[in-house]
Structures are given as structure tokens and as C-alpha cells.
Amino acid sequence: MNYQDEFRDRNVVLGYAARIAELVADRREPLSFMEVCGTHTMSIYQYGLRSLLPPQVRLISGPGCPVCVTPNDYVDRAVALCRLPGVIVATFGDMVRVPGSSSSLLEERAKGADVRIVYSPLDAVALAARTPEKKVVFLGVGFETTAPAVGGSIIAARRQGLTNYFVLASHKTIPIPMALLSADPELQIDGYLCPAHVSAVIGAEAYRFLAEERGVPCVVTGFEPVDVMQGVEMLVRQVVEGAPRVEIQYSRVVKWEGNRKAQEVLKEVFTPCDAPWRGIGVIPDSGLRVAEPYAAFDAERMIPVAVEETKEHQGCLCGEILKGKVSPFDCPLFATACTPEAPVGACMVSSEGTCAAAYKYGQ
């Protein structure tokens, strides 16, 4: 048995399912727990974990996929940038397929734009060093997990004296939207399975205000089926005991204080800003923009570009899916007009998207 098998053990998973059922046996009111991490969403679909839970316990997927929550106007800006002569747009793979208002980076590349897929922001810095005659724009999309690496790339570019490396930042931070969604009476969120990778950076402390001021149980949970089921059991226990608190199920990776070094990079290179979330709208202080001392690396400041009027995708329910209000199976386009090969919305594009997970693994 290897390390991973331990966290996929069927009997352990079923043991947690039985304990959860026991804890809610007398309960009439259903409980809704939201996961705000695309990797949790994938795991829940992949292992069919919903089917193991009693009818009183519902798991809903929230805005945990960074590519999915990035709105069309950001994609439109990236498209406008890659159309400029002398500009290379460098990005992680998923972003190239996300449809903007009228085009995508993939379509632009087919028409001749220089769009490159990189595996790390430092690859984009190296590209800038190799091509001093070009402006290299890296698409800074992602939560607190990705943002430190992007911040690190800006610091590296400055150290190397590069003047042709830029970041188009659309980084988002997770705890504030969680507070916003927990106050939505339509959703009635009874607890959060808090994200694992994000929490490794920001630390479990970051959710204390949710539990202590808003009364929302929080459990920082790992990705394997045993992790998720144990996380749900811990949430159910908190509800049954009437004692909301923050707990760490994923203690093999996440600490209360998080990763101080990564937090320092975030603080140095970025500054909090109001950020638009697909489907949710602008959430105050929920984003990170490039801080003033690093303005020379900020694509938005340094390479102004005219952006087309934003249009939403007809019939796509991504916005409602990201708020946890509907499931992919409620979308009339799901698996008909919208598939991973021909995605209509971002939730079908990203490997962490709820629609992509539902398409790949079914109910």
C-alpha cells in the first residue's frame, strides 16, 4: 500500500459515510456544505462522493476554479493584447481556450498571434530575457496559491533588469467571497470545506472570522476521498454540537499560520483591490493588483489597450454555477451545445471547472 492508497481506502470512506449518516439520522432540515476549490470539486465527482452521503447532507460547488471566476472582460483584454504587434502573451494552458466576448487566445493564435503556453511564470521571464525586442505579458490568473509564484516572477524580472516583462494581474483571494456567499439567504451554507492549496499559503487562521463572527463552520480539507469524507464528518459534528469553529483536516500540509514567505511576496508585489468575479460581480478587496513600486511590470498600466464591449455567452449558467445556485445538469447546453471539445463557458474549459468535472465523471 502506498501513501496515496491510505487516503483512497474504500472501507475508511464508507466508515465516514456511516458516521455522517448516524450524526444526521434525526435531522429533518438538510445541511448544505460548499467546497471552494476546483480540485475538491473534481475529487467529489471522480469518486462519486455525493452518492455516499445521506439525503440530509448536500455538497455544493462554489467559486473555486480560478479560470472559471475570471470574467470575460479579462479574456477580452488578453485577446486585445495578443493582437498588438511585438507582444507575446504567455499563459497556463487552460486560459487559451476560455472564450471571451467574441474570441479566445486559441482563435487568435490560429490567426497568427504569438500566444505561448508556459508551465511557470518563470518560463515567461526566461522568454522575456530571450526576446528583448518583444513585450512578454504573462496572464496572472489564480488564487493565493498561484499569486506568490507570479509575484516571484516580477521580483526575478526586476533583479534581471528586464523591462519587457509584464503581468496582466487578475488574482483573487478566497475568504471574502466565502463571507459574501455565506450571507446569501438563497444558499443557506451550513459550512465550508475550505481549499487546501490556498490554505497552505494563507493559513487556517484566515477563516477564523467566518467561524467566530459569522458562525460558519470551516474545515480545511485535503483532496483524497478519505480527506473529503472526514472533512464533511467534521463539519456535520460542528453543526450537531452547535459550535462553529475552524478545524484543519489536512494537517499534513496546512498550518494555522500558512506560508509566511509566500505571504511576504504577496504583500510586497501586490496590493488588495476590488475584483470582478464571473457571476458574482465586483467584490470589494477580493483581488490583488500589482503594487505601485512594481508598476513598471503591470501590463494594465504599461500597455494600454482598447477592449471590446463585454458580452456574456448566451444561455451559459456559469455565473449561477459558481455561486452554487444550480448544477451543470440544470444547464440546457450541458453535454449538447457545450462540451470540453467545444466549450461555451469557462466552467467547461478548465480542468477544475464544475461543468468539466460533471461531464467527465457524470452524477
Binding site for ligand SF4 (CB under 6 A): 316-318, 321, 328, 331, 333-334, 338, 344-345, 347-348, 355
**Rg, C-alpha atoms of the chain:** 21
Q: Cα angle at 234 between 228 and 236, to 5 degrees? A: 105
How many residues are recorded in the chain?
363
Q: Smaller CB distance to ligand SF4: residue 162 or 344? A: 344
Output the smallest distance, CB 186 to ligand SF4, in A. Answer: 18
Beta strand 165-172 pairing with 87-91: unpaired
* Alpha helix positions (H), the chain: 3-6, 10-23, 38-46, 66-69, 72-82, 105-110, 121-130, 147-159, 175-182, 196-202, 208-212, 225-241, 260-269, 299-302, 318-322, 346-349, 354-361
Centre a 10 Å sphere on the Cβ of residue 39 and count the other Cβ atoms it contains: 18
Give the dihedral sign, CA 120/61/183/232: negative
CB 34 within 8 A of CB 324: yes
Alpha carbon distance 154, 135 (integer Å): 14
Minimum CB separation of residue 60 from ligand SF4 in Å reads 15
Between CA 19 and CA 31 the distance in angstroms is 15
- Residue number with CB closer to ligand SF4 (246 or 318): 318
Residues 227 and 7: their CA atoms lie apart, in Å, by 7
User: Which is nearer to ligand SF4, 125 or 346 (by Cβ)?
Assistant: 346
Smaller CB separation from ligand SF4, 61 or 170: 61
CB of 109 to ligand SF4, least distance (A): 21
**For ligand SF4, the closer CB: 219 or 347:** 347
Rounded to a whole number of angstroms, the minimum distance from the CB of residue 70 to ligand SF4 is 13
* Least Å from the CB of residue 285 to ligand SF4: 28
Please, which residue, 57 or 348, has the CB nearer to ligand SF4? Answer: 348
Q: Which of 336, 297, 301, 288 is nearest to 316 (CA)?
A: 336
Cα pseudo-dihedral 2, 222, 204, 148, rounded to 10: 90
Q: How far is the CB of 72 from ligand SF4 (least distance, A)?
A: 12
Given the complex with ligand SF4, which of 40 and 313 has the nearer CB atom? 313
Query: In whole angstroms, what is the distance from residue 119 CA to residue 190 CA?
Result: 37
User: Residue 318 Cβ, how far from ligand SF4 at the closest point, in Å?
Assistant: 4
Please identify, using beta-carbon distances, which residue of 175 and 345 lies nearer to ligand SF4: 345
CB of 352 to ligand SF4, least distance (A): 13
> Of 97 and 135, which has the nearer Cβ to ligand SF4?
97
Q: At 113, phi and psi to the nearest 5?
A: -70, 155
CB closer to ligand SF4, 282 vs 329? 329
Nearest Cα to Cα of residue 336 among 353, 355, 322: 355
What's the closest the beta carbon of residue 75 comes to ligand SF4, in angstroms? Answer: 14
- Rounded CA-CA distance 40/276 in Å is 23
CA distances from residue 198 to 64, 146, 204 in whole angstroms, order as listed: 10, 9, 10
Shortest approach of ligand SF4 to residue 357 CB, angstroms?
Answer: 11
Q: Measured at CB, which residue is nearest to ligand SF4?
A: 345
